[in-house]
Structure 1
Amino acid sequence: MKKFIAVFFLLILSPKIAYATDDFLVSGEATYEVDGSATKVTQEISITNATTEVHATDFTLSLKGAEVSQARAFTEDGELEVELTKGDVVKLKVLFDESIVGEGNSQNFTIEYLDASVVRVSGDVTEVSIPKLATETFDTYLIRLKVPNSFGAHSYMSPPPDNELGTGGFTTYYFDKAVVTLGVSAAFGKFQVFSFDLTYHLQNPLALPTEMEVALPPDTSFQKIFYQSVSPKPDNILVDPDGNWLAVYNLHARERLDVRAIGVVQVFASPWRQFASNSPLEGSVYWQVEDPKVVEIANGLASPKEIYDYVVNTLNYNYEKVTTGSKRLGALSALENPAESICTEFTDLFIALARAKGIPAREVNGYAYTDNTSLRPLALVADVLHAWPEYWDSERDLWVPVDPTWGKTTGGVDYFTKLDMRHINFVMHGVSPELPIPPGSYKLGANPQKDVFVALGELPQNTSSIPAISISQRGSLPFQGLVLVAEIENPGPAALYDQKVELFFDSAKKYESNLTTLLPYEKRILEFTVPYGFLGSSMPETAELYVGNAREEFATNKNPALARDVIAISLTVVFCVAGVVIYIRRRK
């Protein structure tokens, strides 16, 4: 399996010196050499006196969330003393042996250390978290990210580096201060894989049989689903206008049913397929697209990126609301109470502003894989789900996911240009802001159990589906052709797309069409009329039906049909002759 490496610039780098920054010009170059479990970090720093009155006696480098070891500092003349203080914020205090005085003179030194927090290996993904600069600290700053060529070409890097250079088995990416202060994210590879185990609890409260549906995680432009089992097997599976996959179950009166779906999701960095669906612009109780305040704000924003930035800069995430099951505010109330926002408010405000601007947008409920709930929180109480918006890019014919919530909580990481491969789509809400409900929300009883389990996984050995075809015939009257009834079912594990359907009579093609989509466990019925002719002269002996790579042959039983018609003709002649004879005898 191909290795996938993602790089995220997330944390906060905040060097502090004992004097006002106006007294010094501070420049730095940081090199992060990713190779192994611990990353070697080299900070080359220069402090230049801006006046003759002051000079630097020490320098403190503060790193949030770092796991620093083997720290040392030195100049070209020798080692410097370093005081390491560990905690949520790690501090590296460098004490200078001698003072450099005089305007324009510089204290040049290097800090080296290993940081075990930079590299995180999770399944097929190696993530690298590199501190983000505090803008007020350095006057000039450069970051070099040095990665082995074995990582492969990057699938995205946002913002793009100022330069990149390959040498000695490594590729080095260069970012200057202006870029780094905005946050940088990159990924090497094509996809990430997660396994999931979902349980749905259904109950028919009626005294009559009824049909119920559950939403299964669907294929989207950025994810592909492989189902290992759905138990019990659905009676059928449908697609709604938003592209949701709805498994259909017929429940008896008062019946209770637990449905369990087990599978694997492959999350891509770039679209693997385009999916057309409705492009809603209507308002709702949560998306007040016609409210004057919403319209006024939307008119001042020119693009989805500006809408994203406005939401990130306007709302504040309230961590206390995450576990309380708080009421969903909607876009307008979020504007009135910006400090009371969680992921649903960030999402609702983006959707309302986008639709008010004439840009189709919708909500996604799903699972966002996170190992740091402070930087990347989850908010929907039902099995710790997450919400984020998508907008329709008409130039690319693509629903584009973005995450303004994590853009806020990470302090500016770019979740607009490229979403990471940690977001798993469970349901899309375009027509309705609430339906279908996502996995994890099908609860029964006063003490519901956990129903959503997601973990890093591997692609299954079998990723291809082959349609199952069964053909039967519907009887016809004498002298008429047969009707072939073909049931086509996808047994899984994956959806089938653009399947060519061909029908041959005695090896001659008579019918061709295209089956655009056949979802896992979905059934389709196709009917074909078999030509007949006089006394079966045009009737073929065999019919062959091809659906994609599947083939099914059916014998039309031409001879029995011909015998049936001969018997019918004979009986008709006999009855006619008998009728004539009886008529003549009665006339006599």
Structure 2
Amino acid sequence: MLRLILVVPVLFTFCLWISPQSILAQTAFQSRVKTTYTVDLTGLTQVHQIYTITNLTASAYAAHYSLDIASPTVNRPEAYSLSGEAIVIEALNQPSGTSLTLTFPEKTVGKGKELTFSLTYFDPSLSQKIGSALHLTLPGFTPDSAVQVDTTTLMIPLEFGAPVSLSPDPDQVQSDPAYTKLIYFSTDRLAAGLKALFGDKQTYQVALNYQLINATITPVDTQITLPPDTPNQRVYLEHLTPDPVALHADADGNWLATYHLDPRAELLVDYLSTVVIYGSVQPDPHPRPAGQAYLASDRFWPVDDPKLLELANHLQTPTAIYQYLVTQPQAADSNLAKLVKRSGSAPVSAQSDLTSLDYADAFITLARAAGIPARLHRGYGILTQPLTPSQAGLGPAFHAWADYYDQVTAQWRPVDPTWGQTAAAAYFNQLDLNHLTLRLHGVNPEPSYLNQIPGPDPALTDINVSVTERYPPKTTHLTTAVTLPLTTRLGLTHWLTLTLVNASNYTLYDIPLTVSVSNRDLVHPPSQTLPALIPSQTANLKLQFKPSWPQPTSIIMVNAYGQTDTHLLHYYTRYVSSGLLLGGAVILAGLAFSLARPAWRLLFPRSSPPSTLPRQSQKPPSTSQ
């Protein structure tokens, strides 16, 4: 009796134990398999396979069938013959994987005869529901001539929505009342594995702790960096304690909080926010033009290096640069020797001491050298599953990746060449939901203190990121205040100060602002648009105010972001017009001059000047003799 023993090391991969019997079995049988992966609403995957074994000889039959599955978490295996008879299964779970051995109750003898059976088991390692998103990863396989993989189908509940990212694309997509069906007919397209993300966003609660120290004997103002908005993430601030002296966004869009420290003082700052990370690039609410600043060279991006310029001119496109870094790491490593290596983060792999910062720097340098605007993300890589065995158990870690500016779509596109080397799918143009940006660097040079640390800020002492299914409520509120000089004059222009504070829990962009007055007083400009206000940020606007009605009050209405505030201003208006003031000033000046002239003459009399006429000669009178 010939026993057929087949081995499946990675799900779809069929090969034979190398023994005289198995070699004979490989030539005596041909196998086909159809596989369906069904994911439930909790994220658990059921694997259902239908095998058909065809006898190629008249003298052999299959008594046993063995599979080695590269997952130690396989459970609840069941197998049935075509007639519905249960097939005995022996299961052995080990750290390296799970072995299943099926013993068939009947003998199928004869050339061309077929033995069909079904195998079902559950494997929680294939998919994971995190918050509202579903991550699905199927390992690759090596094709085997003795095993034909027919059709592979993925059944995803409609509640998870359409896939945000999916690689490779399916041959066919179908829908029924409960599931989205992704069907693959070609086995070659799945040889490299499959990676899919369902759910357009993921929500995290982010808690940060900063420790500020002033070791000097003079007061100082110091800044900390808070997670910013990006095309892939939106931040909803819950609290920042204590309140900073000021909050503002820099040219790169980073949120900077300023604190005042007395001499020899220490300050602990607690930050809590809800961050929504999107699987696809969202419309940029406040787009920044990608100008020459995003092409500049600096210490870590030696754009003008001749060797790197030559390589960039050869690669030319973002796609080619990404593929070069991902698929040719050894060649990339030799060229990356031109870059100044960063410190402070873990190596990408055991074979290389390059970090994610180094690969991000490499992409930015080559992109800028090729004339493509690019920038750096410093952040957190939230590992829901280990990407490689060496990364198992790392959990969240400081991470870096890049953006390049797509001139066609006028959008920043994300690129992660580090994770692209270790994952089944490409991290190009679209990331997963596990990239949390803590700091952006593109326009402003990085502070020198960031060169030796893995994180985005030296004051950051603790970070805690956890998944939450609670979508943050948007509280939209602006507070406004109006001040102007206490004394105004009719017909003259004064400066009015309008103060706006974003009391919302998120950044407001393109804020429409209209200011009007209840009487005939004038305000200029009556309307304008503010580019952005981050949470708790204060903006002071100077407006021209011209009273035109002699009354001690004025009602000013401020409409900002659909919210209208009314301000009643009390002030003292002088009732003399500017024309009367000017005329009075002229009259007084003339009167003063008229009174001053006689007094001057009395005090300082002038003597008569000598005559300038020639004096006639006088002759003595003549006497007669």
Cα distance in structure 2, aligned partners of 1:165 and 1:350: 38
Which residue matches 1:521?
536
2:579 aligned with 1:551, yes or no?
A: no
**Distance in 1 of aligned mates of 2:308 and 2:590:** 87
Answer yes or no: is the 8 Å Cα contact 1:315–1:338 preserved in 2: no
Residue 387 to residue 52, structure 1, CA distance change in 2 (3 Å): farther
Q: After TM superposition, give the deviation of residue 455 of structure 1 in Å.
A: 0.6
Alpha-carbon offset, residue 149 of structure 1: 2.7
**Counterparts of residues 373-412 of structure 1 (less than 5 Å):** 373-375=386-388, 384-410=397-423, 412=424
Q: 1:547 to 1:378 in 2, by over 3 A?
A: farther
Offset at residue 478 of structure 1 (A): 5.0
Match of 1:561 among 573, 580, 597: 573
Q: Which stretch shows the higher mean deviation, 134-143 or 512-521?
A: 134-143
Cα gap change, 1:307/1:461 in structure 2, threshold over 3 Å: closer, same or farther? Answer: closer
Q: Is the 8 A contact 1:368 1:386 kept in 2?
A: yes
Alignment match, 1:90: 98
Consecutive unaligned residues in structure 2, runs of 5 or more: 1-9, 331-340, 603-625
Aligned pairs (5 A) from 1:168-567: 168-175=177-184, 176-274=186-284, 275-278=287-290, 280-301=294-315, 303-315=317-329, 328=342, 339-375=352-388, 384-410=397-423, 412-431=424-443, 434-435=446-447, 437=450, 442-443=457-458, 450-459=461-470, 462-474=473-485, 478=489, 480-506=492-518, 511-532=526-547, 541-557=554-570, 560-563=572-575
Q: Give CA deviations for 1:533-558 in whole Å, capped at 9, x if unaligned.
A: 6xx56999332222213333344546
Kept in 1, the 8 Å contact 2:398–2:454? The answer is no
Q: Provide the C-alpha distance between the structure 2 equivalents of 1:378 and 1:276, rounded to a whole number of angstroms.
A: 36
Q: Which residue of 2 aligns with 1:322?
A: none
Give 1:195 deviation, angstroms. 0.4
Equivalent residues of 2:280, 2:431 under 8 A apart:
no
Instruction: Give TM-score scaled by structure 2 length.
Output: 0.76
CA–CA separation in structure 2 for the residues paired with 1:277 and 1:250: 33
Q: 1:120 aligns with which of 128, 137, 140?
A: 128
Matched residue type, 2:197: A
1:64 corresponding residue in structure 2: 70
Contact kept in structure 2, 1:297 and 1:353, CA below 8 Å: yes
Which deviates further from its counterpart, 361-370 or 546-555? Answer: 546-555
Measure, in 2, the Cα distance between the counterparts of 1:315 and 1:519: 40
Over 3 Å counting, the alpha-carbon distance change for 1:112 and 1:240 in structure 2 is same
- Match of 1:370, SS state, is coil
Distance 1:257 1:184, change over 3 A: same
Distance between the aligned counterparts of 2:472 and 2:395, measured in 1?
Answer: 32
Offset, 1:513: 0.9
Q: Do the aligned partners of 2:208 and 2:271 also contact (CA within 8 Å) in 1?
A: yes
Relative to structure 2, which stretch is displaced further, 204-213 or 55-64?
Answer: 55-64
| Candidates 28, 32, 51, aligned match of 1:27 | 32
**Offset of residue 303 of structure 1:** 3.3
**Which moves more between the two structures, 367-376 or 263-272?**
367-376
The alpha-carbon deviation at position 374 of structure 1 amounts to 4.6
1:50, 1:306 → 2: CA distance? 47
State the 1:145 CA deviation.
0.8
The AA in structure 1 aligned to 2:537 is E
Answer whether contact 1:383 1:450 (CA < 8 A) is retained.
Answer: no
Q: Distance in 1 between matches of 2:80 and 2:432?
A: 38
The residue identity in structure 2 corresponding to 1:225 is V
Alignment-mate amino acid for residue 27 of structure 1: R
Instruction: Measure how far apart 1:84 and its partner are.
Output: 1.6
Q: Distance in 2 between matches of 1:264 and 1:148?
A: 27
User: Which whole-Å CA distance do the structure 2 matches of 1:365 and 1:377 have between them?
Assistant: 22
- How far the C-alpha of 1:365 sits from its partner, in A, is 1.4
Larger RCO, structures 1/2 (Cα 8 Å, 6+ apart):
1
Quick check: 1:45 aligned with 2:60? Answer: no
Q: Helix, strand or coil for the counterpart of 1:421?
A: coil
Query: For residues 371 and 59 of structure 2, what CA distance do their matches in structure 1 show?
Result: 59
Deviation at 1:453, TM superposition (A): 0.8
- Cα distance in 2 between the residues matched to 1:223 and 1:518: 17
- CA, structure 1 residues 382+369, in 2 after alignment: closer, same or farther (shift >3 Å)? closer
After TM superposition, the structure 1 stretch with the greater mean CA deviation from structure 2, 290-299 or 44-53, is: 44-53
Report deviation, 1:433.
7.2
Residue type of the alignment partner of 2:156: V
In the superposition, relative to structure 1, how do residues 166 and 298 fare at CA in structure 2: closer, same or farther (>3 Å)? same
Report if aligned partners of 2:134, 2:198 keep a CA contact under 8 Å in 1.
no
Q: Distance in 1 between matches of 2:193 and 2:407?
A: 27
Structure 1 letter corresponding to 2:51: I
8 Å contact from structure 2 (residues 487, 574) kept in 1: no
Question: In structure 2, do the counterparts of structure 1 residues 48 and 264 end up closer, same or farther at CA, with 3 Å as the change threshold?
Answer: same
Single out whichever of 282-291 and 398-407 deviates more from structure 2: 282-291
Q: 1:506-549 CA distances to partner (integer Å, 9 max, x unpaired)?
A: 2688511111211112221111121246xx56999332222213
Q: State the secondary structure of the residue aligned to 1:541.
A: strand
Asked if 1 retains the 8 angstrom alpha-carbon contact of 2:164 and 2:198, the reply is yes
Q: How many residues align?
A: 556
Contact 1:378 1:386 in 2 (8 A): no
Q: Look up the match of 2:333.
A: none
TM-score, structure 1 length as denominator?
A: 0.81
1:238–1:246 Cα contact (<8 Å) kept: yes
Distance 1:144 1:271 in 2: 28
